[in-house]
Structure 1
């Protein structure tokens, strides 16, 4: 399933263009700071398997004001490289590829 283009950003990593998107509003658990921020990445020209990256920070729009860092393009590029090394094949169809970077996340409770 392709990402919604509205609200997504393009990033070029090692000569390949990807589209990434952060959910604008947090899920219920993210709003309560029970689960960390996650975002999705796909190949921009030939969307296949979506990469889902779980970070170690709270969603910036959580309901408790817990501070999270903005998701910077440099971090997205690093995570894309990590996923490619771990076996993500962005142009091939298939189930989402999950990259868990949540080590160190502390829930609000």
Structure 2
């Protein structure tokens, strides 16, 4: 699954360029339905996709502020955490799933 350039953002983490985008649907993260997540892949050679579950709800109660904001610093931290936990973005295979705890 390659991320479309049109719908993704560029980020450089530790000298490596990645593409990422927020996923708001329930199929993104299997841990808790309805949580906010994002997907990341290496830009130069897409391989295994990183799927991150932030642990935050994607949709809040009516009348409250939406929690669908993912900052680039969060993505960079997620990429670093995934790399230290064994994610190899250039290898082929099924998506690497990382669950972060809600702040």
Larger radius of gyration: 1
Check whether the contact 2:36–2:68 (CA below 8 A) recurs between aligned residues. Answer: no
Runs of 4+ that moved beyond 2 A = 26-30, 62-67
Residue equivalent to 1:42: 41
In structure 2, do the counterparts of structure 1 residues 28 and 75 end up closer, same or farther at CA, with 3 Å as the change threshold? closer
> What is the CA deviation profile of residues 54-74 of structure 1, one whole-angstrom value per residue up to 9, with x for unaligned ones?
012122xx3744531621101
Q: TM-score, normalised by structure 2?
A: 0.81
Residue deviations 1:74-100 (CA, integer Å, cap 9, x gap): 110001000000000001111000001
**Residues 14-64 of structure 1: per-residue CA shift (max 9 Å, x gap):** 0000000113xx43689xxx52111100000100000000012122xx374
Label 1:21 to 1:104 Cα distance change in 2 as closer, same or farther (>3 A): closer
The answer as to whether partners of 2:35 and 2:53 remain within 8 angstroms in 1 is yes
RMSD of aligned Cα (Å) = 2.5
Unaligned runs of 5+ in 2: none
1:75 maps to 74
Distance 2:93 2:26 in 1: 27
Count of residue pairs the alignment pairs up = 98
